[in-house]
Amino acid sequence: MKIAILSRGPKLYSTRRLVEAAELRGHEVQVIDVLRCYMNINSVNPEIHYKGEVLEGFDAVIPRIGASVTFYGTAVLRQFEMMNVFPLNESVAITRSRDKLRSLQLLSRKGVGLPVTGFAHSPDDVDDLLKTVGGAPVVIKLLEGTQGVGVVLADTHSAATSVIQAFNGLKANILVQEFIKEAGGADIRAFVVGGKVIAAMKRQGKEGEFRSNLHQGGSAHLVKITAAERATAVNAAKIMGLNVCGVDLLRSNHGPVVMEVNSSPGLEGIEGATGKDIAGMIIEFLEKNALKQRRNRGRTKGQG
Ligand code: ADP
């Protein structure tokens, strides 16, 4: 196959591993910086140009689109889709997953376990907002935050009120969530490929830290997850429409709850913690599915 990897960082661990795994299996790979692509949108022959050349002949595309380039990155991915190139994750599913609030709304509609969550922009009645999520302690999150930045634990009602007022001043969208104390500063990352959890790790925050993010000094270990956790992760991936994703779960005393579904999950932490060849499994998924799409297309064409 000829595979495109949409990534701005050819030196990043995940990108390098995907290139390596694809080449090992005899595929041709090109790493493409989405911001350097320009496109020709027409109904007869949609094209993508890159550094003066037309990109053509690809069978599959692996999007590794950073949060800051979601808009343009998903537009380039959509252009590949117009050209009938099989996407590891579809552009519409990536866009959906990048919106934390929309994701939680979709998951809750299908009955997936979630932390009790309130959402606000400029609440006039902070007391009532706090009451809706069961009162302090609560976790307050900036909707646009990543890697644990902008995630605050407010132990008391007055601390929560101050933080919410401060975020209001910044005119930011926020989530206010019940604090899952029993998670003990740990979360579970379940890595889903093609409707199956293929690996899982537990991330533990450093001593005295409720956030388990590796960027906040947390550490990752192999973990055996329960049947309920497995089912929750698979279900969340399906609802989001993602073939490949990292589902972040907390172990609450009312069962597994989903915090987030990540459509470009990093490979370094999970391969390191589990010793598994995750990149290889992703390429294997593409081999099965991109070729199936091509066969189906051939059949449709044949039928006229
Ligand atoms: P980010 O997307 O920035 O990583 P998260 O929402 O994943 O932000 O929160 C960062 C970390 O904080 C999580 O990995 C988890 O360990 C902890 N955390 C987040 N929400 C809660 C919560 N409601 N209860 C307990 N711990 C939480």
What does pTM read for this prediction?
Answer: 0.93
CB 66 less than 6 A from any atom of ligand 1: no
Lowest mean per-residue pLDDT among 20-24, 123-127, 240-244:
123-127
b/e map of 146-173 (b: 16 or more CB within 10 Å)?
eebebbbbbeebebbbebbeebbeeebe
User: Span 96-111+182-263: which CATH code?
Assistant: 3.30.470.20
User: Could you check whether the bond before residue 87 is cis, i.e. omega within 30 degrees of 0?
Assistant: no
How many other CB atoms sit within 10 Å of the CB of residue 180? 19
For a pocket test of ligand 1, which of 101, 117, 151 has the largest count of ligand atoms closer than 8 A to its C-beta? 151
Q: Where in the chain is the domain with CATH 3.30.1490.20?
A: 117-179
Helix or strand holding residue 86 (H, E): strand 86-87
Residue with CA closest to ligand 1 atom 13? 211
- C-alpha–C-alpha distance, residues 16 and 9, integer Å: 9
Structure confidence at residue 302 as a pLDDT band (50, 70, 90)? very low
Q: Where in the chain is the domain with CATH 3.40.50.20?
A: 2-89
CB 145 less than 6 A from any atom of ligand 1: yes
CB 244 less than 6 A from any atom of ligand 1: no
Assigned CATH class of 117-179: alpha beta
Distance 135 CA to ligand 1 centre (A): 18
**3-class DSSP state for residue 298?**
helix
- Classify domain 2-89 at the CATH topology level: Rossmann fold (3.40.50)
SS (H, E, C) 245-270: EEEEEEEEECEEEEEEEECCCCCHHH
CB 187 less than 6 A from any atom of ligand 1: yes
DSSP string, 45-57: --EEEETTEE---
- C-alpha–C-alpha distance, residues 105 and 178, integer Å: 16
For a pocket test of ligand 1, which of 114, 213, 216 has the largest count of ligand atoms closer than 8 A to its C-beta? 213
Q: For the segment 165-191, what is each residue's pLDDT rounded down to a tens digit?
A: 998 888 888 999 999 999 999 999 999
More confident residue, 190 or 120: 190
Q: What would the mean pLDDT of 100-109 be, rounded to a whole number?
A: 94
The pLDDT mean for the chain works out to 93
CB 95 less than 6 A from any atom of ligand 1: no
Q: Where in the chain is the domain with CATH 3.30.470.20?
A: 96-111+182-263
CA of 138, closest atom in ligand 1 = 23
Classify residue 190 by burial, with Cβ atoms within 10 Å: 0-12, 13-18, 19+: buried
Distance 217 CA to ligand 1 centre (A): 14
Helix or strand holding residue 179 (H, E): none
For a pocket test of ligand 1, which of 133, 215, 259, 262 has the largest count of ligand atoms closer than 8 A to its C-beta? 259
CB 123 less than 6 A from any atom of ligand 1: no
Q: Does the pLDDT of residue 45 top 90, yes or no?
A: no
Distance 46 CA to ligand 1 centre (A): 41
CB 213 less than 6 A from any atom of ligand 1: yes
Q: Rounding to the nearest 10 degrees, give the CA dihedral for residues 77, 233, 255, 270.
A: -90
Structure confidence at residue 200 as a pLDDT band (50, 70, 90)? very high
CB 46 less than 6 A from any atom of ligand 1: no
Q: Residue 122: its pLDDT value, please?
A: 78
- C-alpha–C-alpha distance, residues 39 and 187, integer Å: 41
Q: What would the mean pLDDT of 257-266 be, rounded to a whole number?
A: 96
